[in-house]
Amino acid sequence: MSTIAAISTPNAVGGIAVIRISGERALAVAEKIFRPYGEKIVAEMQGYTCAYGIAHDDGERIDDCILTVFRAPHSYTGEDTCEISCHGGLYVSKCILRAALKNGAVSAESGEFTKRAFLNGKLDLTQAEAVMDVISARGEAELRMAEQLREGAAYKKARECSDRLLKILSGIAAWTDYPDEDIPEIEPTAIKSELTAIRGELASLIRNYDSGRILREGVATAIVGRPNVGKSTLFNCLSGCERSIVTDIAGTTRDVVEETVRLGDIVLRLSDTAGIHDTEDIIEGIGIDIAEKTAKNAELVIAVFDGNCPLSADDFNLINKINNKNCIAVVNKSDREQLIESEKLSQFFKHIVYISAKQNEGIEQLENAVKELFLINSESFSVATASNERQKQCIERAICSVDEGIGIIESSEMYDALNVVLDDAEQSLLELSGQKITEAVVDEVFSRFCVGK
Ligand code: GDP
């Protein structure tokens, strides 16, 4: 396999930058572009040791650097690996990379270091995918979920289920292949209860999938309401800046203003929309059409009402339009006298939150309502959970096969057929961990990584 090199730190100016070289010739390449200040000889350096020296290109000095050596198999990739840490200038790091490429390394592709770690058995595929989740985590909950996978929680659970399936399969094989031997008879009820238990374990791997997806991708959220109820003020309060125009004149948000904001553990992809109400104004009408479409496509609708006024015809009109949505009613202006008929609102909304967007009050209740609506609780973060569609589909296929197996046991006790479906379940789990997978899928998985990881 070729020796690869890439800049592993972001493509930006920083304190330090790291150029990573991995492969059989990693030390040979490093030796050609790095000269230690002391007596050290690069080719003789032990794993987990460093040297201080200069990186150079054909003898021409580039920068003072630290070289760290990792010896196979005790490295991230499982291969000999060298990391050169230099001053974090873009030009400096590019010069060192160029020197490495001139001296025998080839440019690493996206995710190639992690792909090699996978191919060399350092990680299973779910752990490799989790590396990307760790990198892209934006908050504690996301990081905790990603760390679970990176530490192999899903892999271990799938492996355990796979071993239990194999045990059933080998029991059936022994009994059917050697009828004359003194092998204990198959107990259909025991197999059924074992399959039911395996199914439960597998189902737990996807139970929190949607919560995880919401944590990773955020919730497409539309803030809607008639003019002047405080939509823009709420939007600004959540996004912490004055992006929407807030005025006393009704109808000032004519288009959709968007922002990604964090509400506790949850990321909301917020759209502040034009006030939905009856209007003759053509331009405003266009804004209202867009607002209605945005609400229709949103995963969460925050319907804002003015607590300072009784519900109006426009409010009821809005309620009818958003009726079937994942919706939270936000009664705003709690700092003023409350004239809204809360009991009427509660006929339409399961979740009602009272806030003062202007005074930043009640936002925690809004956060709790969002969590409740999307079933996000601390259990969602602490249970091993599939983190992408590929993993989810493998697990769903395995569950489907186990279900078929349970059906066969219940109806016919045809062990040949049971063998086939349980073998299918086993194959799906091998795909999950990447033990049995096509090159195209592997390439697809790693193409989503960044270069240098
Ligand atoms: P929008 O048309 O629904 O986007 O409403 P705005 O956010 O532009 O707010 C309309 C008016 O209500 C402005 O004068 C805001 O200052 C005021 N407002 C918004 N939120 C509150 C609140 O929580 N309390 C009070 N007292 N006034 C508010």
User: Do 436 and 427 touch, CB atoms closer than 8 A?
Assistant: yes
41-79 pLDDT, tens digit per residue, is: 999 999 999 999 999 999 999 999 999 999 999 999 999
Task: State the average pLDDT over residues 197-212.
Answer: 89
Q: What is the DSSP letter of 451?
A: B
Res. 254: pLDDT tops 50: no
Mutate to test the pocket of ligand 1, among 246, 252, 257, 305 (most ligand atoms within 8 A of CB): 246
Task: State the average pLDDT over residues 390-395.
Answer: 94
Is the beta carbon of 277 within 6 A of some atom in ligand 1? no
150-188 pLDDT, tens digit per residue, is: 888 888 999 999 999 999 988 888 777 766 666 667 788
Tell me how far apart the 2 most distant CA atoms of the chain are, in Å. Answer: 90
Is the beta carbon of 126 within 6 A of some atom in ligand 1? no
Nearest CA to ligand 1 atom 6: 230
Span(s) in the chain for CATH 1.20.120.430: 132-208+385-447
Minimum-distance ligand 1 atom for the alpha carbon of 248: 14
Residues 72, 76, 82, 88, Cα dihedral to 10°: -170
The structural architecture, per CATH, of the domain 132-208+385-447 is Up-down Bundle (1.20)
User: What is the distance in A from the centroid of ligand 1 to the CA of 233?
Assistant: 6
User: What is the distance in A from the centroid of ligand 1 to the CA of 258?
Assistant: 18
* pLDDT number for residue 297: 81
Q: How would residue 378 be classed by pLDDT, with cut points 50, 70 and 90?
A: low
Identify which of 3, 43, 55 has the alpha carbon closest to the alpha carbon of residue 26.
3
Is the beta carbon of 233 within 6 A of some atom in ligand 1? yes
Give the distance from CA 117 to its chain's centroid. Answer: 20
Res. 241: pLDDT tops 70: no
Minimum-distance ligand 1 atom for the alpha carbon of 356: 23
User: What is the distance in A from the centroid of ligand 1 to the CA of 232?
Assistant: 7
Span(s) in the chain for CATH 3.40.50.300: 215-378
Is the beta carbon of 62 within 6 A of some atom in ligand 1? no
> Where is average pLDDT lowest: 31-35, 124-128, 318-322, 422-426?
318-322
Span(s) in the chain for CATH 3.30.1360.120: 4-108
Handedness of CA 367, 368, 372, 378 (dihedral sign): positive
User: Do 245 and 253 touch, CB atoms closer than 8 A?
Assistant: yes
Identify which of 98, 105, 99, 117 has the alpha carbon closest to the alpha carbon of residue 4.
105
Is the beta carbon of 193 within 6 A of some atom in ligand 1? no
For Cα atoms 189, 191, 194, give the angle at the middle one, nearest 5 degrees.
110
Task: State the average pLDDT over residues 99-119.
Answer: 95
Is the beta carbon of 231 within 6 A of some atom in ligand 1? yes
User: What is the distance in A from the centroid of ligand 1 to the CA of 345?
Assistant: 20
Q: What is the Cα–Cα distance from 44 to 213, expressed in whole angstroms?
A: 47
| Per-chain mean pLDDT for the chain | 87
* pLDDT number for residue 64: 96
Minimum-distance ligand 1 atom for the alpha carbon of 236: 7
Res. 245: pLDDT tops 70: no
Beta bridge partner(s), residue 306: 332
Minimum-distance ligand 1 atom for the alpha carbon of 245: 8
Burial label, 384 (beta-carbon count in 10 A; 0-12, 13-18, 19+): buried
266-310 pLDDT, tens digit per residue, is: 888 888 776 666 666 666 666 667 667 777 788 899 999 999 999
Which range scores top for mean pLDDT: 17-31, 149-163, 359-373?
17-31
User: Do 422 and 166 touch, CB atoms closer than 8 A?
Assistant: no
Is the beta carbon of 254 within 6 A of some atom in ligand 1? no
Res. 6: pLDDT tops 90: yes
* pLDDT number for residue 272: 75
Overall fold of domain 4-108:
Gyrase A; domain 2 (3.30.1360)
* pLDDT number for residue 354: 97
* pLDDT number for residue 284: 60
* pLDDT number for residue 324: 64
Q: CATH number for the 215-378 domain, one of 3.40.50.300, 1.25.40.10, 3.40.50.740, 3.40.640.10? A: 3.40.50.300
Minimum-distance ligand 1 atom for the alpha carbon of 251: 2
User: What is the distance in A from the centroid of ligand 1 to the CA of 244?
Assistant: 12
pLDDT-above-70 percentage for the chain: 88
* pLDDT number for residue 360: 92
Task: State the average pLDDT over residues 87-115.
Answer: 95
Minimum-distance ligand 1 atom for the alpha carbon of 235: 7
Res. 398: pLDDT tops 70: yes
